[in-house]
Amino acid sequence: MLLVVFFFFFSVQCVPINIEKSPPVPLLLLISFDGFRWDYPDLYHLPHFDQLAKRGVRLENIENSFATVTFPSHFTMITGLFEETHGIVANTIYDPTFNESVTIVGMNDTKWWSQNPWTQPIWITNQLATNSSSRRSGVISWPGCNIAINGHLPTKFQPFEPNRSFDSIVKQMFDWFHENESTRINFGVMYFPEPDETGHLHGPHSPEMAKTLAMVDSYVGQLLQMIDRDEYLRKYLNVIITSDHGMHEIDGKHQIVLEKLIDKSLYNAFGKRAFANIFVKRASDIERIYANLSTLTNYEVYKKSDIPDEYHYQFNVRIGDILIISRIGYEILLPGDDGSERRYGDHGYDNRAESMHPIFYAFGPAFRQINRAKAFRNVDLFPLMSYLLDIPIRLTNGSLENVKHILIDFPSNDFSGWFSRLIHLLTSLFGSSVIVMIFVLLSILVGCIYSVAACRHSSDSLFVENNDFAIRYRLLDDKNGSINNLIVSESEDEIVER
């Protein structure tokens, strides 16, 4: 009887009493803080980031792709494609097909972002989904958001403005979420340039960084307050807060000047101080230039055909004949860079380096509560967001399998989680008052049956028949679709001995 009472109260608690009409399509907000290293919340006191970890998921880190710089990483996050596939291979690009080069300041032509027809930002995938009349994307400041990529723009967008406040961006985003049903967005994407700028100017370990991170932490606090005061968003909005790359300290003592090593008339170099793509003007010079550079210590030097597979940075015409990557903390001064711009922090290094890894936090109705969940790759963000938005998952370099451990629906043997989802489904179909009444009647019925059965057998002698018999089990993994490791073997020929 106690079990019945517990079942009744548990079921009542699981039923939301005042259900606001849910939105026709899922709601998602993606936020990127540029250059937010994975361990900043551990190195600095950030109370609102601690709140994020308590109310949702915090990953150990994000395993970002090479190159670990702003434009390539952000385009990878929203396309699910490696840099060699989508073509934004650096913040400064040379394309031999166009015989043109471009920096992030001038990268406003669709040809740079639409190198191949299958590159599609998640904000466009959302808008083109089957029930597209209810789907609109709003993007603020994210690289490429104001450029038609393969013919498509976000429904609403505002390009990057360097002095725009975080408050202004969030207010605009929330206004878009609350427009009337014919114009409101269901997917918001926003970018903010700190703490990257502070990291370059002062380094990742500095009083200035502490001050900037306290400011960013206060922004997160404001965001949480605004969501908590808004019943619509509090109930239905999933939020992802992440970054493009980390940051490493630079002491300025470990530099090479490229034009002192190679006659600059033989090549063109494009990149930054952490790495560079070198395009050799005559193919006959590639071997001797490579031989000269490969003697350097503290620098990785590869001919294009020998770039390691784990970089996923080889098969694109925008990648040079020779790739040079500085060891963490070292710098390359390319032609035109006299070194006068002092940097105390930088990125763009090997994506396997710990200091290059960014943060990942997420909360909302779809996410479990896990602190320090297993890391996944930035290409996996695309299938994760596709799942959250309930749209078909396009073929990309990412995988939904890598992110299932942070989602409530995957994989779970937890009865209460399963039961809560069942209650939510029934409530949405029949209403909360009807469901409560059904459980009340069921509880009374079960209680009566239990009482009658107890009375009938109270005087019976206890006898337990020995029916022990062997049942073989097989161990299933997640790939077989099991939610329970102990599954009776499906063999039809098993003989059970009694």
Between the CA of residue 138 and those of 186, 202, 221, 259, 341, what are the distances in Å? 8, 33, 22, 45, 36
N-terminal to C-terminal alpha carbon distance within the chain: 34
Question: In this structure, which amino acid lies at residue 393?
Answer: I
Between the CA of residue 162 and those of 141, 153, 166, 172, 203, what are the distances in Å? 9, 21, 11, 16, 20
Overall residue count recorded for the chain in this entry: 498
Task: Specify the residue for token string 């972002």.
Answer: 113
Cβ count near 474 (within 10 Å):
13
Which residue from 206, 348, 367 is spatially nearest to 277, judged by alpha carbons?
Answer: 348
Task: Specify the residue for token string 């014919």.
Answer: 182
Q: Which of 68, 70, 85, 212 is catalytic?
A: 70
Rounded to a whole number of angstroms, the CA Rg of the chain reads 28
What is d(CA 263, CA 293) in angstroms, rounded to the nearest whole number? 12
In this structure, are residues 240 and 341 in contact, taking their beta carbons and an 8 Å threshold? no
In this structure, are residues 373 and 406 in contact, taking their beta carbons and an 8 Å threshold? yes
What is d(CA 332, CA 318) in angstroms, rounded to the nearest whole number? 19
Tokens found for residue 140: 């603020």
Which residue from 316, 239, 248, 216 is spatially nearest to 69, judged by alpha carbons?
Answer: 248
**How far from the centroid of its chain's Cα atoms is residue 213's Cα?**
21
Instruction: Classify residue 259 by burial, with Cβ atoms within 10 Å: 0-12, 13-18, 19+.
Output: middle
The reply to whether 79 belongs to the active site is no
Instruction: Classify residue 52 by burial, with Cβ atoms within 10 Å: 0-12, 13-18, 19+.
Output: buried
Helix (H) or strand (E) holding 261: helix 258-261
Between the CA of residue 128 and those of 17, 85, 132, 236, 351, what are the distances in Å? 35, 22, 6, 21, 32
Task: Specify the residue for token string 């700028």.
Answer: 197
Task: Specify the residue for token string 């960013």.
Answer: 216
Q: What letter would DSSP give residue 160?
A: -
Which residue from 23, 15, 30, 14 is spatially nearest to 363, judged by alpha carbons?
Answer: 30
State the catalytic residues: 70
